[in-house]
Structure 1
Amino acid sequence: MAEPQSPLGANFVPGNHGNAAAGIGVTLRERKGLSVIQVTAWRDAIPAMLTAIGSATGLALQNKPGLGRVAGEKSVFGFAPGRYFVVSATPDLETRLRSVISPELGTIIDLTHGRTVIRVSGPRSEWVLSKLFAIDFSEHAFPIGSGRATLHHDIHANIQRIDDESFDLYVFRTFARSFWLTLGHAAEEVGYRVE
């Protein structure tokens, strides 16, 4: 299956941008080749669903809102009660999840072609994202692996903290170009690199 065309189009311009004279504050890149699956557990089936997700991915997840795990190119995080994003760089993720998740546990929706994933990383990533979202991005309030669902004006985003300085943002493909431009404007002050 061919990889979908990037919705960023001509707005994806590699290189350094903004006030890069004092160094690069953040790096922006579109993550491609990912499977993005939303899994929703029925209320009484959350523990069994978490066990099933762990079985399919190797990522054990605690039953606490917003918590998640990251291991290389795969991750899982909760963003609402009983709702999880499961992400992997393998095309068979949905098949693996369906093999262990029965309809009695919940639902599975493949969002791969409906979301664009943007990684924001660098020493000023928390500061840049704080300009766009009303969230405390400090590691104390937003630990590694955890996720949040939020809005920037009318653009919905799911955000997962990947490491000390990196976040993955999941936005609807139809809003990706507009959000990419907004993200670039927010990062201009600290200088940013597009990879």
Structure 2
Amino acid sequence: MLVNCAGTSMVTDTFSMSLEDFRRIMAVNVEGTFLGMKHAVPIIANSGGGSVVNISSMAGLKGIAGMTAYCASKGAIRMMSKAVALECAGMRNNVRVNSVHPGFVDTPALRKHIDDATKAGHGRGLETIEPDEVAKTAVPIGVACTSEEVGEMVAYLVSNGARHVTGAEIPIDGGMTAG
């Protein structure tokens, strides 16, 4: 089993972002996921098979102003997961690959994003730094996701119950990407 969960981002518009910052985000988010799969999938396959779960983001499914590099990197993780899932299926190596796309998850990183977005003028409706308050307006079901809920989705995907789940992109975002 492999869970790729590293990520970094910054809130700035495309035209103010340096190429160095863009490359740093892509290196951590995309290259890190690539290298994890490149080196772990053969080991997983040689052990009889298993699961790879790549943590992406709802930003890999829809654009967010002020987060161009992050959206691009998380979209790349989404498509890389699908491609590697098909490669593994074609090799019949019994390795499944899926991506999970969390929305607002109450973490220190989310609190920093809310604060940065508000300061940068991209916070439309995010005037408070409290995720529960933000969720009331930004998340259709009105509550922020918990890291435990994301963990439960990952646990399902690595379980035998998900034996036929590969190449899937699973949002866990309270409906943020539903419409």
TM-score, length-normalised on structure 2?
Answer: 0.30
The structure whose residues are more often helix, as a share, is 2
User: Which of the pair has the greater relative contact order for Cα pairs under 8 Å at 6+ separation?
Assistant: 1
What is the TM-score when the length of structure 1 is the normalising length? 0.28
